[in-house]
Each structure stands twice: as structure tokens, then as C-alpha cells.
Amino acid sequence: MKITVPATSANIGPGFDSVGLAVSKYLSITLLEPALEWEIQHDLGDIPSDKRNLLIQTALRVQNDLPPYRIQMESDIPLARGLGSSSSVIVAGIELANQLGNLHLTDQEKLLLATEIEGHPDNVAPAIFGNLVISTYVDDKVDAVVADFPESSLIAFIPAYELKTSDSRGVLPSSLSYKEAVAASSIANVAIAGLLSGNLSLAGRAIEGDHFHEPYRQSLVKEFKAIKQLGHENGAYATYLSGAGPTIMVLAPQDKEKQIYQAIKALELDGETVILQVDKQGVRLEKN
């Protein structure tokens, strides 16, 4: 049995903690054979290889009497870069429990479990459903709307350094005034309406007009200003921080993709520039 989960790009400007997009980097886990103790084989650096691994912690939280297995874990989702690396593991852990425990969980039940574990649904929801997902988690209830993302290109610059979500959240204000909150909400509304209607020029302006988090976080990502300027010069719709950063995402017309990709590469920044596609499947299962 193999479980595959896509990476995610959350927030998308003003969609703070509520909007995410599944993208084409992946975590996969393969069940090898039963074992006396949980064992995770991986080459992903300094993460646990036993039941302390987030994958197993999640699975046992869902069903605490699962039989242990030896598991192969592989991922090209970079850690602590704003592409939902932990969310992908949580979603995989829930699906692992679902399969080993024969739980027959619905997608809505998976979403609630994942949101309770992660704390908010913006990354876990698209990892489950694929595509663009707008979601809310209030009073222990989660709702989500899944929609196709408009035809466009996603060019990501992934810096070589990590930025922990806790550090990125530390620069945010503890509150907004009523007037500021209304303005921020109206911008978010237009961003979502633009994405859902396919008006990416309108959506792009609203994405870059975010008041919730980007004005405070952009200074943590030293490459952001130069890439945003480059985007403007080359016809991009918007440049935004993916999740809590430091990955920088450029949303662009498809005919500008190579031009923008090459322009970012020409900056010779310390990191990786990649072209991503929207993942339309979300979590998937292959049985032997």
C-alpha cells in the first residue's frame, strides 16, 4: 500500500489561515511489512524513525491500537519552507490509520481530524482534496469549498534557509482595529472572487494588497522585494509568500512562465527556483 500527499501553498495573500492550493511536490509512504515496533525508513534528515515520527503520532491519535509496520517515507517537499511539509505528513497519517484500522472515514471526517491536529485547515484541506480550497475553522467546526484554480503558472523560489511558522507568526500583530479588519476582509473577498471567477488580474492586485500577514512577514524573507519587483516588470499577476514563508510564489500568465523563471534564476539567489503545477487529486491511495 502506498499513500501519496501533495504539497500545499497556503494563504495566497489575504486568505490567511483559510485558503490553500495543492501543488506538485509530494510526500509518499509505502507500507513494507508488519514489524514488532514502528520503523520509518527515510533519508529526510533529523526526523524520528520510530513512533515519535509525526506520521505515526498522527495515525495513533486517530486509532491507538494499530499494528506496527515498517514504512518507507519519501518526500521532495522541503521542511519549514511554507509548502505544507507537516500537513502532508498529518494527512498521510490519517489515511494510514483509515486504511489499517478499516475506519471508512469520509473526506469531511479526515478534514476535521487534520484541522484539529494542525490547528487550521489552510494546508491540510488542499492536501486532502487537491485544487484550491477555501475553508474556515470556528468553534471546532470546519467547512471547506473546493474549486478549480484558474489556468496560470506558478513559479516558486524556495530559499535555502528554513523559516519556522512559530517565528513567522511572532511578527504578526495581536489585533487589528475594526476599520483595519473591515479593509483587510474586503480585500480578501475580492481576492477569492477574482480567483473563483478567473479574473486573475483583479485577484492578483488583491493578493498583493493583503493586510493580514504579508506586510509584517515580508521583511523576514530578504529575497521577496527583488522577486516581487521582477514579477511586476515581467507581467506577473501577483507575488506572495507561500504559507508562513520563506518560499515566494509568483502567479503569472502561462506565456510569461519561462521568462519569469529565467529572470529569477538570473538573480543567482541562494535557493531553488521551480515551476509547479496545481495538483487536482489531493491524497491518493495505491493498493498492491
Q: Residues forming the annotated binding site?
A: 78-88
Alpha-carbon span 281 to 22, nearest angstrom: 9
CA dihedral of residues 264, 267, 268, 273 (deg, nearest 10) = -10
Cβ proximity of 41 and 70 under 8 Å: yes
Q: CB count, 10 Å around CB of 68?
A: 16
Beta-bridge partner residues of 33: 70
Q: CB count, 10 Å around CB of 28?
A: 17
C-alpha cell at 246: 520563506
Cβ proximity of 273 and 262 under 8 Å: no
Alpha-carbon span 98 to 123, nearest angstrom: 20
DSSP state for residue 227 in the 8-state scheme: H
Residues ≥6 apart with Cβ < 8 Å to 126: 6, 8, 10, 20, 21, 22, 84, 132, 133, 279, 282
Alpha-carbon span 28 to 25, nearest angstrom: 10
Query: For the sheet containing 248-252, what is the strand order?
Result: 238-241, 248-252, 153-159, 271-276
C-alpha cell at 258: 519561462
Which amino acids are annotated as binding site for ATP, given as ranges?
78-88
Residues ≥6 apart with Cβ < 8 Å to 249: 9, 12, 154, 155, 156, 239, 240, 241, 242
